[in-house]
Structure formats: structure tokens, C-alpha cells
Amino acid sequence: MPVRVFAAAPSYNLEIGGTGAASWNIGNIKPGDSGIKAVTLHNNSPYNGFISIWITDIANAEGLNPGTQTGELGDHLLLQIICPQLATNIVMPAKIGDFPHNLTDTNYVMLDPVPSGGTLNLNWQWELPPATGNDAQGDSISFTINYTLEMITPPENRGGGGSGGQTTTASEPRTILVDVLGTETKLTVNSDGSLAQSFSQSFMDNSVILSFDGGTIINADGTVPDRIVVEESTENPLVPDGMKRVSPVYSITAYVGGARLEHASFTPPFRLVLKYDEKELPEHQTSIFIAYWDASHRWVQLDPPPGFIAATGQVAAFVNHFSLFTVLSVGQTTPVGPAHIELRGLLINPERTRPGETVIIKAQLSNTGGLSGESVVRIKITGLLDTTRLVKIAPGQTEEVKISVVAVSPGDYNVEIGNLSGTFKVIASPEEPGEFLYWLYIAVVAIILLFFITFLFLRRKHLQV
């Protein structure tokens, strides 16, 4: 059962520029625990807006056994926001350190749009992965989650003056120039940042097609952009092994005046269609998809729109933010072997110890096969422990099996982890009365024997004289 670590679901009434914050403390959890925390946010202002989220005041606290750990709870705890209006450039679930820590952070988490008087519900889902093991046992972490409401379109002079944008009033529509590989079209945008009508724009050979629904909210760094530009990128990030790029890399960006905007979101997402070269497909192609380049510098697959049938040589995806985009194909040229898991490298430290002291036992579990696999490892220590652990390992990865034990009785202890075995010895403390009397007895006997031998030697010498 999940451990309950959060208080009752809070509700926040947000004003433009106002902030709601909740300080949370997580503790008394074990690997494999998870849970969900609900939050209600209300736009209490007279204007439509979007909500930015960031995390501050992160503090890790050690557990009862800090000597047996290798990390903090914050190094392992994963968080994920579940909300249809989510727009972000981080991959969730994510560690707390990956979330933005202020409004100017390069990482961003936003919820939009939230109309005036509207209410938005979201769920925070948390999990401590089973692979954490003992690394954060007994630890706790506290942090503050901040919410702020920002206006999509101010009531007067939106984007005017020094920003380089257009000057309009709340009742006046404005336009956005969409440039797709040099083909330009103007879009009409309402004062709340929403498109006045549906729109589709393509390059002459249909290599790139953008399609927007009427009412789509466009939000770029808190403003409505002057231009949206689609062009071939000069960047060409490497693709993972087993994949092949079969289209150019395209950059989709937004501008206000001459300034490039770093963050942009679309609600609902727009549809992106890219053309690919069928001649470049791998011989044993298994899947083909549009991918975007994310903030952690990797290609992330986008799912195709449900029910959408693309023409031959085209693939489609829903997109809710700007980035680099390309078409990737997954090919299978050689058979992939099954998982092959080996256990090795048993380490017992220390091998000689005193009663009440901790002994750390480790072994390495490696998967040298081509597929992910799992292994049930039996851990047995004579008179102390007999248990099993399920360890899941990705291909080419190594996981550590680690356990800490404390023996209170002197003696020899046999250790078995899978097919590996070893021993450690617990030696009685010299201060114990039994052992002290034993050594006292030995010393007395030795003195008596030495005295007797000396007496015999002197007596014999005297008789000879």
C-alpha cells in the first residue's frame, strides 16, 4: 500500500502576479511506495492566464542509519504532474532537482489556458523506485511548490513599446506571421491569445505541414508572438544506436520583434506532418515517428494523432511546444539476443568485526544480453537472514545488490548471495569478563611454569658445583 505523505488536497485562488505555495515533507517511505496528491487552482482574476510552477526550499534530512547510505532521498524520489493543460520541457517523471527553481529557470512547467474565473485540477504523482534499495533508508525531504498566475494578454497595449511587439487593445485582434520554409501566411489572433479560426500551412512539396484548430491558445514567454518560423536547422544532434534519421532536422521558433522567445506552448496542441525519404529507411524497419530534441539533450518520440492517416512518405504528431523536430526510423538489422544476467564481485566489509558493528555485503548483477531482464537473488546469512530480491536490469547495465547486517553474537557467519559465497567473523570484545578471565588464567599458568623451570635450572647448577 502507498504511504500517505501529503496533507489533504489544497485549493488556491490565484490573482495575476500572485503566488500560492505549499510546503511539503516526505518521509517514512520505502522503495516501491507511491501515491497521488490532488491540487485545485482557481483563476480569481478578471483575465485569462497561464500558471507557472516551480520548486524551492529543497532540504534533505538524513535517516537513522546515515553510515549505510550512498545518497539522499531527493536523489531518487520521482514526481510527475498529471494534467491535460501541462506544457513543459522536462521529461516526467523527474527528480525534484530537474524541476524549475524560479520563474527564469531554463526548465519550465506551465498550465494553460485558465480562463477568468476558471478552475483547473491537477494531480502530483510521486514514487520511490524499487531500485533505490537502502540508499535513502529513513531519509526525509521537504520542499515548497509554488504556483503563480500570469496574464496571456494584458488588457491594453499588448506587446507594445520596448518589447518590439504589436500595439493593440483588448478588443482589437492582432496577427501572427507564420513562415514555413519561406511560405508566409498571416493568422488572426483574438485578444486572449487564441486563434480566430482553424488554419493549415504547408511548404510547396508538403515536406512540412502545420495545422491548428480554431481557438488554440498560443503563449510564448507570457506573450503572443509576432512570428512563428519553421526552417531547416543548422544543428544535427546525434541519434541513438538502432535508429536512423530519415528527414531533415527542423527548427520551430517564435519571435516578438527581433527577439527569439525561449518558451512557447499551444493548447490544444497543433498537428505537425513531416515528409521523409522512403529510400533512407533501414532494411528491417520496425517503426517510424516524429521526435523532438528535449532539454536533457535526447530525442523523444511523439505519438501520432489518433485516427490520422498520413500519405505515403509522411508521418504526423501532436506538438504543444517549440523545439527541434525530425523523423526517426527504428531498424532491426541483426537479431537481438535475450537477457543474460550474471552475478559476481561479492564484497564483505569488514571480514572481521566486533558484536554490534555493521557489516556491508555487496555483489554486482550485470546484464550482458540484448534485452531487459530480471533476476530473483537469494540472500542468506547463517542465523541472521534468509530473503530474496527481485532485480530488473536493462541490457548492458549493472545493478548493485547491497545489504547491511549487524551481528551481536561472536562466531563465524556464512554469506550466500545467489551462487556466490563468503564468510565474516565476529570476535568477542576483550573487555568481556569471560575472555578476560581466560587470558588471566593463561598468564598465571605461564608465570608458574617459568618459575618452575627457572628453579629446576638453578638447582641443577647448584648440584653440579
CATH number of the domain at 288, please: 2.60.220
Mean pLDDT on 239-261: 85
* Same-domain pairing of 290 and 390: no
pLDDT of residue 157: 34
What does each C-alpha distance from 270 to 10, 13, 176, 186, 199 come to in angstroms? 32, 30, 15, 16, 10
Is 448 domain-assigned?
Answer: no
- What range does the domain containing 36 cover? 11-151
> Which of 175, 210, 171 has its CA nearest to residue 189?
175
Mean pLDDT on 173-179: 79
Question: Going by C-beta distance under 8 Å and a sequence separation of 6 or more, which residues neighbour residue 55?
Answer: 96, 99, 100, 101, 143, 144, 145, 146
Contact 224, 193 (CB under 8 A): yes
CATH number at residue 407: 2.60.40.10
* Same-domain pairing of 273 and 352: no
Unique residue bearing C-alpha cell 503572443? 224
Give dist(CA 316, CA 306) in Å, integer. Answer: 10
* Same-domain pairing of 71 and 218: no
Q: Report DSSP letters for 315-382, one per residue.
A: EEEEEEE--EEEEEEEE--SPPP---EEEEEEEEE-SEE-TT-EEEEEEEEEE-SSS-EEEEEEEEET
| Secondary structure element (H or E) that encloses residue 53, with its range | strand 49-61
* Same-domain pairing of 19 and 111: yes
**What pTM did the predictor assign?**
0.40
Is 163 domain-assigned?
Answer: no
Round to the nearest angstrom and report the end-to-end CA distance of the chain: 93
User: In the Cβ-directed half-sphere of 81, how many Cα atoms lie within 13 Å?
Assistant: 25
Q: Is the pLDDT of residue 325 over 50?
A: yes
* Same-domain pairing of 125 and 253: no
* Same-domain pairing of 29 and 144: yes
Total count of domains within the chain: 3
Is 451 domain-assigned?
Answer: no
> Which of 280, 183, 184 has its CA nearest to residue 239?
280
Which among 151, 182, 203 is the end of a domain? Answer: 151
Give dist(CA 267, CA 126) in Å, integer. Answer: 26
Phi and psi at residue 71, in whole multiples of 5°? -160, 175
* Same-domain pairing of 288 and 346: no
> Which of 387, 391, 392, 424 has its CA nearest to residue 409?
424
> Which of 155, 159, 156, 140 has its CA nearest to residue 59?
140
Mean pLDDT on 79-84: 86
Is 465 domain-assigned?
Answer: no
Question: Going by C-beta distance under 8 Å and a sequence separation of 6 or more, which residues neighbour residue 437?
Answer: none
- Model confidence at 17, in pLDDT bands (50, 70, 90)? low
Which among 331, 360, 395 is the end of a domain? Answer: 331
* Same-domain pairing of 349 and 222: no
pLDDT tens per residue, range 332-389: 545 556 888 899 999 999 999 988 899 999 999 998 887 888 889 999 998 888 888 8
pLDDT of residue 168: 36
* Same-domain pairing of 314 and 421: no
Is 118 domain-assigned?
Answer: yes
What does each C-alpha distance from 403 to 139, 143, 348, 389 come to in angstroms? 17, 30, 10, 11
> Mean pLDDT over all residues of the chain?
80
Give dist(CA 290, CA 300) in Å, integer. Answer: 9
Is 449 domain-assigned?
Answer: no
- Cell numbers at 71, concatenated: 545518497
- Model confidence at 216, in pLDDT bands (50, 70, 90)? confident
Mean pLDDT on 223-249: 86
| Secondary structure element (H or E) that encloses residue 188, with its range | strand 183-189
Is 57 domain-assigned?
Answer: yes
Q: Which of the pair, 262 or 55, is modelled with greater confidence? A: 55
* Same-domain pairing of 187 and 320: yes
Peptide bond preceding 154 in cis form (omega within 30 of 0): no
* Same-domain pairing of 370 and 345: yes
* Same-domain pairing of 20 and 144: yes
Pairing of strands 34-43, 11-14: parallel
Is 253 domain-assigned?
Answer: yes
Neighbours of 351 (CB within 10 A): 12
